[in-house]
Amino acid sequence: MRTPPFLPRFRGRLHDPRTATAVGRWLGLAILVCFVTGVTSHYLQQPPDWAAGHLPTRPVSGYRVTQSLHVISGIAAIPLLLVKLWTVYPRLFEWPPIRSVAHALERISIAVLVAATLLELFMGLLNTIQWYPWPFPFRAAHWALAFVIIGALLVHLAVKAPVIAAHWRRTSRATTTLDAQEAREAQDARDTAGDAATAAAERRSLLLGLAASVGAVTLVSAGQSVTPLRRLVLLAPRDPRVGPQGLPVNRTARAAGITPDDLRGWRLRVGGPEPYELTLAELRAMPQTRVELPLACVEGWSKSAHWEGVRIKDLLARAGLPDGASLRIVSMQRHGGYGVSAMDRAYTRDGLTLLALRLNGEILAPDHGFPARIIAPNRPGVLQTKWVTRLEVL
């Protein structure tokens, strides 16, 4: 069937399966890295029951690495997705629009894949600047969409397997495994090009330009978590060097509603078989431990710091819990989320997990959680609770 005259004709040489495959595999890799690191982050932040007591607290910077990779691969996926969509968009106008039931299902799965991926990347990007202009909870939506994307992507890869195989290598000549439509398109592309060498040269410059833009967005945003690149953080919403005591702040003491009265009357209350209370002076009189651990925010910035305070392990032993316990950590915070966090036994019995009183050699700044905050190895920043006042045993 001829294409009707009201549909546009595309003469560009790079709307071809070879270019789509070349860009698609980098996009696929970015999506895979993003997915795996996202699932890791989800389980560290909200451990499933079967993981109780077994969460890994090593490597101490594990979460920093996976979270940086998550944000870096997500940002890199944006130019990759845009170029991929540009190479294939003429197929939106393919004629006839539906050839069979299988073809209709394939087109629907691609529509779902494209829509979900655009939304997912857009939401993730806005999340890095802590902007939530939608009425649904970010995490639940981001999590659900990830599985929609992976499902639709697997369908897409299965359907396109012959095309991908035929165009995986630059030199491959195979049009034999293509379906009739793809073969016609490939032939068309060659006819209009007149010269396959020109097409290859153009493709090379498109891919080089794409590589340069992926490199550029990565370089100017990765510095928020990768220290050697920190001078280049043009696009990153956070410069990890900026903030009291050399560390950024997401929620200030004022935003959390911490008052001078709260601080004057502050006590640490610890639950357990032998519950007790401590004043700040009593807490300072206990053995202090120094650790170097990163804060790794789920929004994409990370920074390592020196912390000093009392081991959670020692506080629990004093309450009659020598082997640690699962905890609910409660902050004095009045407004907003993250005032309470759960802590698995794997963390509470780890000697590096502290109720920190000092940061980089100074008493904690009010915005960093004065008088006491949690710092634990390989733990998402969002769970490093500030202004802690109670440790409840679960």
Ligand X SMILES: Nc1nc2c(c(=O)[nH]1)N[C@H]1C(S)=C(S)[C@@H](COP(=O)(O)O)O[C@H]1N2
Q: Which is nearer to ligand X, 115 or 255 (CB)?
A: 255
Location of structure tokens 């981001």: 142
How many chain residues bind ligand X (CB under 6 A)?
Answer: 22
* Rounded-to-integer distance, Cα 366 and Cα 363, Å: 9
* d(C-alpha 170, C-alpha 388), whole Å: 59
The yes or no reply on residue 21 touching ligand X (CB under 6 A) is no
| Sites for Mo ion among residues 169-228 (CB under 5 A) | none
Nearer to Mo ion, 124 or 271 (CB): 124
Contacts of ligand X in 293-312 (CB under 6 A)? 295, 297
The three-state secondary structure class of 365 is coil
Rule CB under 5 A: is residue 369 a binding residue for Mo ion? Answer: no
Contact with Mo ion (CB under 5 A) among 116, 123, 149, 382:
382
In the complex, the smallest distance separating the C-beta of residue 365 from ligand X, rounded to whole angstroms, is 8
- Nearest distance, CB of residue 157 and ligand X, angstroms: 35
Neighbours of 56 (CB within 10 A): 13
From candidates 370, 386, 389, 393, binder to ligand X by CB under 6 A = 386
248 binds, among ligand X, Mo ion, none (CB under 5 to 8 A by kind): ligand X
Question: Does residue 333 belong to the site contacting ligand X (CB under 6 A)?
Answer: yes
Which partner, ligand X, Mo ion, none, binds residue 276 by CB below 5 to 8 Å per kind? none
Q: Pick the closer one to ligand X by CB: 21 or 333.
A: 333
SS3 341: strand
- Report the site for ligand X in 253-272 (rule: CB under 6 A): 256
> Would you say 178 or 256 has its CB closer to ligand X?
256
| Collapsed DSSP state (helix, strand, coil) of residue 352 | coil
135 phi/psi in degrees, rounded to 5: -85, -5
Site for ligand X in 357-376 (CB under 6 A): 367-369
If the CB atoms of residues 346 and 382 are measured against Mo ion, the closer one turns out to be 382
Report how far residue 303's alpha carbon sits from residue 306's, in angstroms, rounded to the nearest whole number.
10
Q: Alpha-carbon distance 30 to 72, whole Å?
A: 9
Q: How far is the CB of 41 from ligand X (least distance, A)?
A: 13
Task: Check residue 386 and report its DSSP letter.
Answer: S
C-beta atoms surrounding 120 within 10 Å: 23
- Report which of 186, 251, 250 is spatially closest to residue 224, judged by C-alpha positions: 250
Q: Between residues 164 and 330, which has the closer beta carbon with respect to ligand X? A: 330
When binding is defined by CB under 5 A, the residue of 77, 88, 253, 297 that contacts Mo ion is 297
**Per-position DSSP letters for 98-149, written without gaps between them:** --SHHHHHHHHHHHHHHHHHHHHHHHHHHHHTT---SSS-HHHHHHHHHHHH
**Would you say how long the chain is, in residues?**
394
- Least separation, in Å, of the C-beta of 77 and Mo ion? 22
**Nearest residue to Mo ion, scored by beta-carbon proximity:** 297
3-state class (DSSP) for residue 294: strand
DSSP codes of every residue in 261-284:
HHHHT--EEE-SSS-EEE-HHHHH
223, 300, 339, 381: residue in contact with Mo ion (rule CB under 5 A): 381
Q: Using the 8-state DSSP alphabet, how is residue 15 labeled?
A: S
- Smallest gap, in angstroms, from Cβ of residue 188 to ligand X? 53
Residue 335: CB minimum distance to Mo ion, A: 16
Residue 209 to residue 220: CA distance in whole angstroms: 17
- When CB distances to ligand X are compared, the closest residue is 381
Residues at the interface with ligand X (CB under 6 A)? 247-251, 256, 295, 297, 331, 333, 336, 338-339, 367-369, 381-382, 384-387
Residues at the interface with Mo ion (CB under 5 A)? 297, 381-382
